[in-house]
């Protein structure tokens, strides 16, 4: 039998209609995945990755060990060099996932006596990493630089010992789709000599020249201590990388436990990621650019939202993620099911993933969504809103 305390926690979730369950993949019209550019189904990338493995004599299924033992196959170094060129960074270190990268960074870099200031809406992986650190951590109000500055003043005035301050945020927030003022944030970090870390998971492939993200688009590479980029969203594969200095990379290799004590990614995963970046590099020569198609769809979605008088229900966003607030788990789940019956995949984001009363329908836009699909899904939303008195 399951221990009583565990069963009670499950029962509590059921009572709140917030019990998570694994679903099955469907062929519904996709407004829910993070595959913003359709790269996960791109046959050119798939076939090129296979040929790349053959050309490099790496016809094997697994990495065979951690990167510090037997798993650091040659494709790793090639990809990390490619990432340095693409993201205009001095060094890059590949991890098995974005979760591993954030756990590995925040559990090992901030030291005892240091302070971590994090946006209150930061991703769970960053929160978990911070919890594993010996540093003290404090949240600041979401995208509120005034609140952050007050905390910076308070901690710098009080502290007389040697310490570091780390500020962490996302360039695009996964549950809201909104963006902080990164230029002002960088200036504030420099003013207080704090080290700025930006998670670019939902900005890569969406913003910037060839999809390089917001940090690079705003030319803030040198103002940021570290960037986290992931390969499971617009890149269409799996894994992540920390972009940083050579010294920080060396430190992470020696002290980041989620990097040290895990089997490396398979050669096939590395090959797929590599070929996805080859695809990015070729976009400058192509007529059909999926990043531009995505941007066009974002603008069209926002225009249709206005036309149908739905804007007041949505959190302001210029990204691929647009969230319609639907207070209550039951109502959010009901509306999601209604969309499924109409052949659309729209996910309900429930509490406790988001705060109570802030439950929502999360619309993820892609380069391959047609304008007629966007119009239809928002017209359906308008109908459902009227029925449920949202």
User: Model confidence over 171-223: pLDDT tens digits?
Assistant: 999 999 999 999 999 999 999 999 999 999 999 999 998 999 999 999 999 99
**Contact by Cβ (8 Å): 345, 366:** no
| Ramachandran category for residue 156: left, alpha or beta (phi over 0 → left; psi -120 to 50 → alpha) | alpha
The helix (H) or strand (E) run that includes residue 170 is strand 165-170
Mean pLDDT of 287-314: 95
How many Å separate Cα 225 from the centre of its chain? Answer: 18
* CA–CA distance, 181 with 167 (Å, rounded to integer): 14
| pLDDT value of position 17 | 86
In the DSSP assignment, the letter for residue 354 is S
Residues of the chain with pLDDT > 90: what percent?
Answer: 89
Q: What is the pLDDT, as a whole number, of residue 288?
A: 76
pLDDT of residue 129 exceeding 90: yes
Q: How many CB atoms lie within 10 A of CB 1?
A: 5
Q: Is the pLDDT at 390 greater than 70, yes or no?
A: no
Looking at residue 159, its pLDDT comes to 64
Determine the angle formed by the axes of helices 124-131 and 98-108, rounding to 10 degrees: 30
Contacts of 153 (CB under 8 A, 6+ apart): none
Taking alpha carbons only, the member of 287, 310, 265 closest to residue 101 is 265
**Residue range 325-376, pLDDT digits in tens:** 998 999 999 999 999 999 999 999 999 989 999 999 999 999 999 999 999 9
Backbone angles phi, psi at 61, to 5 degrees: -85, -35
Task: Please state the pTM of the whole predicted model.
Answer: 0.94
Phi and psi at 94, nearest 5°, equal -85, 135
Tokens, residue 181:
């003022």
Dmax over CA atoms of the chain, in Å, equals: 62
Q: Averaged over 316-329, what is the pLDDT?
A: 95
Strand pairing class (226-230; 321-325): unpaired
Contact 325, 358 (CB under 8 A): yes
- Tokens representing residue 187 in the block: 């200036």
Residue 217 CB neighbour total at 10 angstroms = 15
CA separation, residue 244 to residues 24, 247, 344 (Å) = 38, 8, 40
Report pLDDT for 375: 98
Neighbours of 363 (CB within 10 A): 26
Q: How far apart are CA 301 and CA 303, in angstroms?
A: 5
Give percent of the chain with pLDDT exceeding 70: 98
Helix, coil or strand: residue 103: helix
Please report the pLDDT score of residue 160 as a whole number.
63
Return d(Cα 1, Cα 232) in angstroms, integer: 36
Distances (CA, A) of 224 to 180, 198, 218, 275: 14, 7, 12, 27
The answer on pLDDT for 304 being more than 80 is: yes
C-beta separation of 341 from 380 below 8 A:
no
């Amino acid at each position: 039998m399951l221990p009583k305390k565990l069963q009670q926690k499950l029962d509590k979730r059921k009572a709140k209609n917030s019990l998570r369950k694994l679903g099955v993949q469907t062929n519904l019209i996709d407004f829910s995945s993070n595959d913003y550019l359709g790269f996960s189904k791109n046959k050119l990338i798939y076939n090129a990755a296979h040929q790349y493995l053959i050309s490099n004599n790496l016809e094997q299924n697994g990495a065979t060990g951690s990167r510090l033992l037997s798993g650091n196959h040659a494709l790793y170094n090639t990809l990390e060099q490619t990432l340095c060129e693409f993201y205009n960074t001095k060094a890059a270190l590949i991890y098995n996932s974005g979760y591993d990268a954030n756990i590995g960074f925040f559990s090992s870099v901030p030291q005892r006596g240091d302070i971590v200031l994090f946006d209150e809406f930061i991703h769970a992986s960053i929160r978990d990493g911070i919890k594993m650190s010996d540093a003290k951590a404090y949240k600041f109000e979401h995208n509120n630089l005034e609140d952050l500055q007050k905390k910076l003043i308070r901690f710098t005035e009080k502290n007389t010992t040697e310490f570091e301050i780390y500020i962490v945020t996302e360039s695009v927030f996964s549950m809201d789709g909104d963006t902080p003022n990164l230029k002002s944030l960088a200036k504030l970090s420099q003013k207080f000599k704090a080290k700025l870390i930006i998670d670019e998971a939902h900005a890569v492939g969406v913003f910037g020249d060839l999809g390089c993200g917001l940090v690079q688009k705003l030319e803030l590479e040198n103002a940021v201590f570290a960037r986290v980029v992931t390969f499971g969203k617009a890149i269409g594969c799996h894994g992540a990388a920390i972009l940083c200095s050579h010294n920080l990379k060396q430190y992470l290799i020696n002290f980041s436990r989620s990097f040290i004590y895990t089997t490396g990614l398979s050669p096939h995963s590395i090959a797929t990621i590599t070929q996805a970046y080859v695809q990015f590099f070729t976009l400058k020569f192509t007529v059909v650019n999926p990043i531009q198609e995505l941007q066009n769809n974002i603008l069209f979605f926002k225009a249709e939202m206005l036309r149908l008088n739905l804007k007041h229900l949505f959190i302001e966003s210029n990204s691929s993620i647009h969230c319609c607030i639907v207070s209550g788990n039951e109502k959010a789940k009901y509306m999601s099911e209604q969309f499924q019956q109409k052949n659309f995949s729209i996910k309900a984001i429930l509490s406790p993933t988001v705060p109570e009363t802030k439950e929502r329908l999360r619309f993820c836009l892609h380069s391959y969504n047609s304008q007629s699909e966007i119009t239809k899904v928002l017209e359906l939303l308008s109908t459902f809103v009227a029925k449920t008195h949202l």
